[in-house]
Structure 1
Amino acid sequence: MLQLNSNEIAQILPHRYPFALVDRIVDGEAGVFAKGIKCVSVGEPMFCGHFPTQHVMPGVLIIEAMAQVGAVAILSVPENKGKIAFFGGIKNARFRHKVIPGDVLEMTCTLTKQRGPVGIGEAKATVNGKVVASAELTFAIGNEE
């Protein structure tokens, strides 16, 4: 069972502030799936411009956060240690509700296929049990070089 705090996530993912978008991994199985959370705060830089009078987390950052959860799942297997998961594609992205400061974004990414260095994951984000976003994400595993 995967359970990681922000410091442990930073040992797997190269993302740092302001692009470290997962606060904690609360469940998962290496190479299979991961479930993570992000506590959305008004103090984040994205809210300076999106939108100054009505704060809404940008959909592209929700997708990125879901991808980071999936990257933890795929990079947690021993053969991928020290590698990076790059975006290979995004299909069927849907945004159903706004994500605003004070929300706890719960994200799950289940890896459905993998062939060589390429993997596909089904990702979903919820707030208070309601689906706010979903997408099929394609990952390409590469080296940090």
Structure 2
Amino acid sequence: MSDTPPESQFPRPDELLPHRAPFLLVDEIVELQPGERCVALWHLTGDEEFFAGHFPGRPTLPGVLMVEALAQTAGLAAASATSLEGKLALFGGIDKARFRRQVTPGDTLRLEATINRLSARAGKASGTASVDGRAACEASMMFLIANAAD
């Protein structure tokens, strides 16, 4: 019997996104419909540096990082579209961001993003970040499409 986890059927986030530590906020992809939808996980260990200062004595994931994690999840859905090969989705805007609950060390943030519109130049997505089935953040996002090599 092996202790090695089974190989995921989905690519690693760093195979689709240009982000790298410490700013890659998505640990694994658990669902992917290329160009349409992505569900990913971010496992918060408590060792992340931002917890030390936000807030001492009551560590809380900053809301802006939840929104960025949702944008990265939408970026995974967009980057997996064959029509965007060699392209890069750049965060273009946030609408209707709402924060519903605190996220703390030890939580696993489930990130769900759906592409609502996608063209060769731009797109719109909506997403929800949740912990244990309870919404922590909801947002609508816009992104621009650029050449990856620029």
TM range (shorter): over 0.9
Native 8 Å contact 2:43 2:109 kept in 1: yes
Q: Deviations over 1:71-124 (max 9, x none)?
A: 000010123223221111100000000000011100100011123321101100
Native 8 Å contact 1:117 1:142 kept in 2: yes
Return structure 1 stretches of 4+ with deviation > 4 angstroms: none
CA distance in 2 between counterparts of 1:96 and 1:37 reads: 18
**Is residue 2:76 matched to residue 1:68?**
no
RMSD: 1.4
**Uncovered stretches (5+) of structure 1, i.e. residues with no partner:** none
Native 8 Å contact 2:27 2:43 kept in 1: yes
Number of the residue aligned with 1:132: 136
TM-score of the pair, normalised by structure 1 = 0.92
**Is residue 2:22 matched to residue 1:18?**
yes
Number of the residue aligned with 2:10: 4
Q: Deviations over 1:33-69 (max 9, x none)?
A: 0000000111011112111221000000000001101
**Is residue 2:48 matched to residue 1:38?**
no
Identical counterparts, % of pairs: 38
**Uncovered stretches (5+) of structure 2, i.e. residues with no partner:** 1-7
TM-score of the pair, normalised by structure 2 = 0.89
**Is residue 2:119 matched to residue 1:115?**
yes
